[in-house]
Amino acid sequence: MPHELSDMLQEAKSDAPPPRYSVQDALTAGRKRQQRRRALWAGTGSAAVVLAVAGAVAVPQLLPEGNNRSATVNAGAAATNTEKSAKAPFAYPSTGFSGTFAEYTVGDLTVDGTVLVTPGYQVASITAPGKGQAYEDKNGGRYYAPNVIGHVVTYAKGVFDPAKAQKDPKAGAGWFHEGEKKEAIKPGVPAPYADSTYTWEYADDAWAQVIVQGRLKYPATKLASIAEGLTGAAEKPVKVGIKLGYVPAGFALGSAGTTSDHLESTFAGTSFLRLIKGDFPYENLTGTVGDPFVVQDTQLPILSLQVYPAKEQKYNAPGNEPYCPQEGLCYRYTADKKFFVELNGGGFIGNTEMIKMLNSVEFADLTDESTWFPATEAVS
């Protein structure tokens, strides 16, 4: 008999025993905790030092050698750009896991260079002044992510399907979609917005998008300026801060960079590697690929490794050996405990295999990108 999941969950927690704790118990526990903290503070004279670390990741590109997806800027597509004489032309990488974004500014926004590369596209982040997402460490201190407000994505030749984007209003050389307000998650919580996008053909049959958070209400002209500013850099391999000595059979590099496939804001020192078993076809895309990697209704086995600065020490037992607090999720800390790598097996391999992978990890100096490994060498 089919079961509806939320009904199942409701059913599982029904018939609860009478509660052992009352509101007063919670209040008393809170007060006691506060007293203990105050006593600790008075005793030490200072707050505990928060472990804080930074890491940064470089991004490689998965395109095979000699691929025919390379695309150089189409002069016609850039015809609206009248001030590009000093700007380096942009060309899509000719080799796999390399990046070609240059850093450039548009007003107070900065396009930071390549942060993620896949076989189908490369991504650069767009940063605005100010602080990004706030986080709280285990001692109550606040720290902030960079204020990443969006990304520029350049797709390899033939990968992007522009039909959907071309239904949006034309704006200069491209098409603009204003991110619409979505349904509020809960009463009293601000409603989220879809992303705003600007889509244009940067070279013959090669497309690009500027994608920014819709709630920021950037107009089409601003996004078009970012598109027009697209600047190329010499092609260079994307680098990451770890190297794997062991990769389970059949898995190969799928994407790499300083952020994950979900394009989060990340901190200095962060690295990301996605391994995929099987061929994922980068074709007919209308945006970047996060998850799942489904081919003909089948999820391809994927593994992800992400290096984080250990700001929160939120995972138990940061020892010298890899450990798996849960099935499918394992960790290994750097020797100085300032960073850790998280391996997400997603149920595709067992913890024994994951521990074997983590034991084989070689860390670069995560605070010094010059010591990092080209992604293609990190997974071999």
Q: Which residues bind another protein (CB under 8 A)?
A: 1-17, 19-21, 23, 25-27, 29-34, 37, 140, 185-186, 189, 192, 260-262, 264, 290-292, 299, 302, 304, 306, 312, 314, 316, 325-329, 342, 344, 346-347
For another protein, the closer of residues 15 and 83 by Cβ is 15
- CA-CA distances (angstroms) from residue 193 to 76, 107, 123? 33, 24, 21
- H-helix or E-strand containing 9? helix 5-12
Q: Is 4 exposed, middle or buried (0-12, 13-18, 19+ CB in 10 A)?
A: exposed
For another protein, the closer of residues 22 and 85 by Cβ is 22
Q: Smallest gap, in angstroms, from Cβ of residue 274 to another protein? A: 8
Q: Smallest gap, in angstroms, from Cβ of residue 113 to another protein? A: 22
For another protein, the closer of residues 44 and 82 by Cβ is 44
Tell me, what DSSP letter sits at residue 287? S
Q: Smallest gap, in angstroms, from Cβ of residue 252 to another protein? A: 18
For another protein, the closer of residues 234 and 252 by Cβ is 252
Q: Smallest gap, in angstroms, from Cβ of residue 2 to another protein? A: 4
For another protein, the closer of residues 33 and 217 by Cβ is 33
Tell me, what DSSP letter sits at residue 311? S
Q: Smallest gap, in angstroms, from Cβ of residue 14 to another protein? A: 7
Which sign, positive or negative, has the C-alpha torsion 191, 194, 195, 200? negative
Residue 69's nearest CA partner among 46, 48, 98, 29 is 98
Q: Smallest gap, in angstroms, from Cβ of residue 170 to another protein? A: 32
Q: Smallest gap, in angstroms, from Cβ of residue 136 to another protein? A: 9
- CA-CA distances (angstroms) from residue 368 to 103, 239, 321, 373? 19, 11, 24, 11
For another protein, the closer of residues 7 and 108 by Cβ is 7
8 A C-beta contact, residue 255 and residue 288: no
8 A C-beta contact, residue 102 and residue 232: yes
Q: Smallest gap, in angstroms, from Cβ of residue 210 to another protein? A: 21
8 A C-beta contact, residue 213 and residue 348: no
- H-helix or E-strand containing 224? helix 220-228
Q: Smallest gap, in angstroms, from Cβ of residue 239 to another protein? A: 20
For another protein, the closer of residues 321 and 368 by Cβ is 321
Non-local (6+) Cβ contacts of 375 within 8 A are 58, 59, 60, 61, 97, 117, 237, 238, 239, 240, 253, 256, 273
Radius of gyration of the chain measured on its C-alpha atoms: 23
Distance between start and end Cα atoms, the chain: 46
Tell me, what DSSP letter sits at residue 1? -
8 A C-beta contact, residue 81 and residue 200: no
Q: Smallest gap, in angstroms, from Cβ of residue 112 to another protein? A: 20
For another protein, the closer of residues 16 and 335 by Cβ is 16
For another protein, the closer of residues 38 and 170 by Cβ is 38
For another protein, the closer of residues 278 and 346 by Cβ is 346
Q: Is 376 exposed, middle or buried (0-12, 13-18, 19+ CB in 10 A)?
A: buried
8 A C-beta contact, residue 309 and residue 339: yes
